[in-house]
């Protein structure tokens, strides 16, 4: 069993992980930049160490974080969400240094973080995806040919994108021509890769995401879904669990699809499979290979402690729950404040 965890994050999720550690009798190690030295997660953790004067730099240095975990006697590292939570290099360095990464393997993070590779994996598994290009488009000429084939409107997306960045809706060839250099530039600056692909734009869909948990024994369960259709600039504003938009049949179908998707890539730990729902059809959109901001409302309706399960899974234990035991009661909402 894991005995000591370095929390490679700050703020709300760090406090959440500290709480889970305390309840499980596990020592917690917090990190902080000078700006965060008096933050709540620092005060509540068993130990806390400074990572430099720069507000963000220390949180984004994977080797420095893993070295600190080794130096402080930790046997595991929890990345939280944001920062390096979906960084395959961090997972690889943890494996090199004998530190358990509380999340999926580097291979799975890399595969599902590449949206075109994720689409190929889902097609192979029989999970429906939105019509689009088979891979990345090389240039604007290919993009225009593919846009005509798919049919407008289309979504131009950064292959490594996330958080609403590197994505544009294009209603015509002219808009695609205008958006292409902008998305390439945004993708390069935000994700370090000038890779983009096209998908058919599903007009006025519901955005449904299913919470999954998978252990190292091949067991995968879903904890129902969250509706995150209310957004601003492709970023979520309101989350509702479970979705009030789904019929019982749709709920069961999306749950089954999410489990199939996770099993297809050998997923281990907590993750989220995101879908679009339009005119009764469900399409895979992407997979988030980490715990999400909104995991708390799923915990509210199911009574299952997702962070505790993450730590148990990373410790090599099987899931403590079976699918038939998971039920949901009532509704829970999360509101996000966006500056």
Of 145, 166, 200, the position where a domain reaches its end is 200
pLDDT value of position 186: 86
Do 190 and 210 fall within a single domain?
no
Reported confidence tier of residue 211, pLDDT bands at 50, 70, 90? very high
> Does residue 163 form part of some domain?
yes
224 backbone dihedrals φ, ψ, rounded to 5° = 65, -155
Do 138 and 246 fall within a single domain?
no
Do 225 and 301 fall within a single domain?
yes
Within a 10 A sphere around the Cβ of 164, how many other Cβ atoms? 12
Do 160 and 185 fall within a single domain?
yes
Do 164 and 277 fall within a single domain?
no
15: Cα separation from own chain's centroid: 19
Q: Is 236 exposed, middle or buried (0-12, 13-18, 19+ CB in 10 A)?
A: buried
Counting every residue written for the chain, the total comes to: 339
Q: List Cα–Cα distances, 40 to 34, 147, 197, 313, in angstroms.
A: 14, 49, 41, 27
Of 200, 217, 245, the position where a domain reaches its end is 200
Residue 151 above 70 pLDDT?
A: yes
Distance CA 62, CA 90 (A): 5
Q: Which of 110, 168, 290, 312 is catalytic?
A: 290
Task: State the greatest distance between any 2 C-alpha atoms of the chain, in Å, as a whole number.
Answer: 59
Do 207 and 196 fall within a single domain?
no
Q: Which domain holds residue 143?
A: 131-200
Do 210 and 331 fall within a single domain?
yes
Reported confidence tier of residue 191, pLDDT bands at 50, 70, 90? confident
Task: Return the DSSP state at 318.
Answer: P
User: Which helix (H) or strand (E) covers residue 236, if one does?
Assistant: strand 235-241
> Does residue 35 form part of some domain?
yes
Mean pLDDT throughout 280-284?
94
Mean pLDDT throughout 225-250?
94
CATH value at residue 296: 3.30.470.20
- Specify whether the CB–CB gap between 338 and 237 falls below 8 A: yes
Mean pLDDT throughout 79-91?
97
Mean pLDDT throughout 298-315?
98
CATH value at residue 175: 3.30.1490.20
Region at 129 (left for phi over 0; alpha for psi -120 to 50; beta for the rest): beta
For the question of residue 27 being annotated catalytic, the response is no
User: Which helix (H) or strand (E) covers residue 210, if one does?
Assistant: strand 206-214
Do 18 and 89 fall within a single domain?
yes
Do 218 and 310 fall within a single domain?
yes
Do 239 and 328 fall within a single domain?
yes
pLDDT value of position 326: 98
Residue 163 above 70 pLDDT?
A: no
Do 243 and 329 fall within a single domain?
yes
């Amino acid at each position: 069993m894991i005995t000591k965890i370095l929390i490679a994050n700050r703020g709300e999720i760090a406090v959440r992980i500290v709480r889970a550690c305390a309840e499980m009798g596990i020592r917690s190690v917090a990190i902080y930049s000078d700006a965060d030295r008096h933050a709540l997660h620092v005060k509540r953790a068993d130990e806390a160490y400074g990572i430099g004067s720069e507000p963000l730099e220390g949180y984004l240095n994977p080797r420095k974080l893993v070295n600190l975990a080794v130096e402080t006697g930790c046997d595991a590292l929890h990345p939280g969400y944001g920062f390096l939570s979906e960084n395959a290099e961090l997972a690889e360095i943890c494996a090199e240094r004998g530190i358990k990464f509380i999340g999926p393997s580097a291979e799975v993070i890399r595969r599902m973080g590449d949206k075109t590779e994720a689409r190929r994996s889902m097609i192979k598994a029989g999970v429906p995806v939105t019509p689009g290009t088979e891979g990345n488009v090389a240039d604007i000429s290919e993009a225009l040919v593919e846009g005509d084939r798919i049919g407008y409107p289309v979504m131009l997306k950064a292959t490594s994108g996330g958080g609403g960045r590197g994505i544009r809706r294009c209603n015509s060839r002219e808009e695609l021509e205008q958006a292409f250099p902008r998305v390439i530039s945004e993708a390069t600056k935000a994700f370090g890769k000038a890779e983009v692909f096209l998908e058919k734009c599903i007009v006025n869909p519901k955005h449904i995401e299913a919470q999954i948990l998978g252990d190292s024994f091949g067991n995968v369960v879903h904890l129902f879904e969250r509706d995150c259709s209310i957004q601003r600039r492709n970023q979520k504003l309101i989350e509702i669990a479970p979705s009030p938009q789904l019929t019982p049949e749709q709920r069961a179908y999306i749950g089954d699809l999410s489990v199939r998707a996770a099993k297809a890539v050998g997923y281990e730990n907590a993750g989220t499979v995101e879908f679009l729902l339009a005119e009764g059809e469900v399409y895979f959109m992407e997979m988030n290979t980490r715990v999400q901001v909104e995991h708390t409302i799923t915990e509210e309706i199911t009574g299952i402690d997702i962070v505790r399960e993450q730590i148990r899974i990373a410790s090599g234990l099987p899931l403590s729950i079976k699918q038939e035991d998971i039920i949901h009661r009532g509704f829970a909402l999360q509101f996000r404040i966006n500056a």
